[in-house]
């Protein structure tokens, strides 16, 4: 299934050079930031009915590591509540955590997603005009 997901997203990697593990470790070795605290809280809240992301279960650590690595990679965005659900879906369909991280970083580089997760309302308005305006344009 990972092959399908890779085919519908950009193939150009936006990830930093070097192994994924070193990025995750660099983030986790530093002081506990607000983002890391939010990640710790949200990981176990991600798809609770599945039971895969709760402490002690197989995808708890990979999800935490992926999100912590993203905080290190894009500290200007950090972690925003809701990112864990996108990352969790990628972990479920990709072959490994590194591939899921690459895909996650690529998705969040798209203008609409970047604006949404950076909480930049002005940039988001540029990428997605208000719904009524889009509907009116289609009627013309």
Cβ neighbours of residue 99 under 8 Å, at least 6 residues apart?
2, 6
Please report, rounded to a whole number, the percentage of residues in the chain having pLDDT higher than 90: 45
**Residue 2 scores a pLDDT above 50:** no
**Residue 139 scores a pLDDT above 50:** yes
CB 70 within 8 A of CB 79: yes
pTM confidence score: 0.68
CB 127 within 8 A of CB 111: yes
Phi and psi, residue 53, nearest 5°:
-110, 5
For the segment 106-113, the average pLDDT, to the nearest whole number, is 86
Structure confidence at residue 103 as a pLDDT band (50, 70, 90):
very high
Domains plus CATH for the chain?
A: 2-109 (1.10.8.270), 111-140 (no CATH)
For the segment 7-36, the average pLDDT, to the nearest whole number, is 51
State the pLDDT at residue 112.
Answer: 76
With left for phi above 0 and alpha for psi between -120 and 50, is residue 101 left, alpha or beta? alpha
């Amino acid at each position: 299934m990972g092959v399908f997901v890779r085919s519908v997203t950009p193939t150009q990697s936006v990830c930093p050079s070097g192994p994924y593990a070193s990025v995750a470790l660099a983030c986790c070795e530093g002081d506990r930031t607000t983002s890391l605290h939010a990640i710790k809280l949200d990981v176990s809240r991600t798809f609770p009915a599945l039971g895969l992301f709760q402490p002690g279960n197989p995808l708890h650590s990979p999800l935490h590591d992926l999100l912590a690595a993203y905080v290190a990679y894009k500290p200007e965005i950090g972690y925003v509540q809701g990112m864990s659900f996108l990352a969790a879906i990628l972990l479920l369909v990709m072959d490994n955590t590194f591939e899921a991280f690459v895909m996650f970083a690529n998705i969040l580089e798209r203008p609409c997603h970047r604006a949404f997760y950076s909480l930049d309302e002005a940039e988001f308005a540029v990428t997605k005009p208000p719904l009524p305006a889009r509907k009116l344009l289609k009627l013309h």
